[in-house]
Amino acid sequence: MARRIKFFDTTLRDGEQTPGVNLNLQEKLEIALALERLGIDYIEAGFAIASEGDFEAIRGIAGALKTTSVVSLSRALEKDIDRAWEAIKDAVSPRIHTFLATSDIHMKYKLKMTEQQVLENSAKAVAHAKKYVNDVQFSPEDATRTRPEFLYKVLEGVIKAGATCLNIPDTVGYTNPAEYTNFIKGIMENVRGIENVDISVHCHNDLGLAVANSAAAAVVGANQIEGCINGIGERGGNAAIEELVMLFNTRKDYYNFTHNIDSTKINRTSKLVSSMTGIYVQPHKPIVGANAFAHESGIHQHGVMQERSTYEIMTPESVGLSSNTMVLGKLSGKHAFVSRLEELGVNLKTNDEINAVFGKFKALADRKKEVLDEDILALVDYTNDKIAKKYELVSFQISSGNRIINTSTIQLKVDDEIITKASTGDGPINASFKAISEICGYDNLKLVDYTIRAVTGGHDALGEVNVKIENDGKSYIGRGISTDILESSILAFLSAVNRIV
């Protein structure tokens, strides 16, 4: 009989710890709603005590989701657990996730605690969380580098205190599949009461083994897997949920599991996370990379044309890549456009949102002969950016060349006033950024990262620019799209500046 695997998504907590990622409340809510539509069982919405922003985001998500369990992380401290409960108490199925390190290196250098103190504090934390919720998850941080005999004692203690789920994290991505399966087996064979709780795994990808380790653990009994969309997260990232889902779907002969994930929503969810975090997947990434279903070799192309299964072990449609050939252009009506949005899994709630995106679509269609699915998704994500826009672009004019002084004249609407500034720089983009900084009154902005990509191919491709800037030690991400890459750059820089406000 097939065994059910639960998926625990931590994109909004561990994923947001990716350097340079800083999501606002609305962006977190959009991602959480997409994860619920995907079929995720548990969403770790953040670390409630970390900041007021995290707390408000968790509380907002807890109140908005209808079916998915909302989780807040907390240290093994009463104040953390109290704050976590305040954040998730409106959730349809709240869970508190508390943790305490158990490895010798962490106890000695980070916690400065004895074994007895760790035993007592972990059980005490779970008991305190149990006062608020029935569902309590406990994680022994750095479990895979913990002495098994001591780990068994800790796990038995938290089970007695009321834990319902034990997460066994490979916190630094140190283990390998053979070691991890033996480690999980040891826990199942030596921890009293283990049969009454769920066993979860949280694998980091420092050595590239997060997906392999997670799948191996599931085979020997783990029934919850933690990970992030696109595998983002601290250092080398986490197990990529989309890879695990398609591994289980494709190799049902080996992985006899069921799950709640709608794989046709994978592509849309991946693109949403990419656009909102500013972290794009590499082209060769499994499942969601641009080349995942591309075939360049003549032998491969011939094989696929004759029979797709020769070189495709899964179909593009299974992850939400459409085979629809309907082309949208400037003569396309609103009905056809809305129908295409629905096919792409886009869930716009109001007429105002639909009209805003449709307006952008018509403007793009005037400049681009064929508007492709990727263009539409990019427009949706960009148009639905809910950041309040104190600074809005009115116009720009650029004079650039290799034998003249590069000059940019920018005109912005600032509240109800139109302000114009001209600036020179080392290239048109640098000159534009300097002019914007002058208008906005920021003289210490630092451009940390600038990335550019074509959303689709062709000479009229929609260009997407992401920038990361620093102001007073804090990072802000901005994004802009246009068929004019200079305009994309200006819009991206303005988006980041508006986030400062």
**Domain made up of 391-500: CATH architecture:** 2-Layer Sandwich (3.30)
Which tokens hold the place of 344?
């792409």
Task: Give me the pLDDT at residue 311, please.
Answer: 58
Q: Where are the beta strands (DSSP E) in 157-307?
A: 165-170, 198-203, 224-227, 257-258
Task: Give me the pLDDT at residue 336, please.
Answer: 79
459 pLDDT above the threshold of 80: no
Query: How far is Cα 478 from Cα 389, in angstroms, rounded to an integer?
Result: 12
CA 369, 370, 376, 378 dihedral sign is negative
Task: Point out the least confidently predicted range of 28-37, 418-427, 477-486.
Answer: 477-486
Please name the fold of domain 3-277.
TIM Barrel (3.20.20)
3-state class (DSSP) for residue 285:
coil
Q: Write out pLDDT tens, residues 67-98.
A: 999 999 999 999 999 999 999 999 999 999 99
Between the alpha carbon of residue 184 and those of residues 118, 180, 190, 215, 355, the distances in Å are 21, 6, 10, 12, 52
End-to-end CA distance of the chain: 55
Is residue 50 within 8 Å of 81, Cβ to Cβ? no
Task: Give me the pLDDT at residue 304, please.
Answer: 46
pLDDT mean across residues, the chain: 90
Query: How far is Cα 90 from Cα 59, in angstroms, rounded to an integer?
Result: 7
Percent of the chain having pLDDT more than 70? 94
460 pLDDT above the threshold of 90: no
| DSSP tag of 134 | S
Q: Write out pLDDT tens, residues 403-435.
A: 999 999 999 999 889 999 999 999 999 999 999
> Please, which pLDDT band fits residue 111 given cuts at 50, 70 and 90?
very high
Task: Point out the least confidently predicted range of 40-54, 184-198, 292-306.
Answer: 292-306
As separate numbers, helices (DSSP H) first and strands (DSSP E) second, the chain gives: 16, 16
Percent of the chain having pLDDT more than 90? 67
Q: Write out pLDDT tens, residues 344-365.
A: 777 777 888 888 888 888 888 8
Task: Give me the pLDDT at residue 305, please.
Answer: 53
Residue 297 makes CB contacts below 8 A (sequence gap 6+) with none
Number of other CB atoms surrounding residue 288 within 10 Å = 24
Task: Point out the least confidently predicted range of 123-137, 369-383, 423-437.
Answer: 369-383
Is residue 82 within 8 Å of 96, Cβ to Cβ? no
Task: Give me the pLDDT at residue 342, please.
Answer: 77
325 pLDDT above the threshold of 70: no
What angle do helix axes 52-64 and 25-38 make, rounded to 10 degrees? Answer: 40
Between the alpha carbon of residue 362 and those of residues 84, 224, 348, 367, 421, the distances in Å are 45, 45, 17, 9, 30
- The mean pLDDT value for 429-455 works out to 92
Between the alpha carbon of residue 282 and those of residues 54, 267, 352, 450, 453, the distances in Å are 29, 14, 34, 16, 12
Rg (CA), the chain: 25
pTM, full prediction: 0.83
Which has more confidence, 289 or 200?
200
Question: What are the beta bridge partners of residue 200?
Answer: 167, 224
Which has more confidence, 476 or 437?
437
Task: Give me the pLDDT at residue 104, please.
Answer: 97
> Please, which pLDDT band fits residue 300 given cuts at 50, 70 and 90?
very low
Number of other CB atoms surrounding residue 353 within 10 Å = 15
Query: How far is Cα 113 from Cα 380, in angstroms, rounded to an integer?
Result: 50
CA 127-131-137 angle, 5° bins: 55
Q: How many CA atoms lie within 13 A of 219 on its CB side?
A: 20
Task: Give me the pLDDT at residue 377, please.
Answer: 77
> Please, which pLDDT band fits residue 306 given cuts at 50, 70 and 90?
low
Which has more confidence, 289 or 105?
105
In the chain, the largest separation of any two C-alpha atoms, in whole Å, equals: 77
Question: What are the beta bridge partners of residue 423?
Answer: 408
- The mean pLDDT value for 183-204 works out to 98
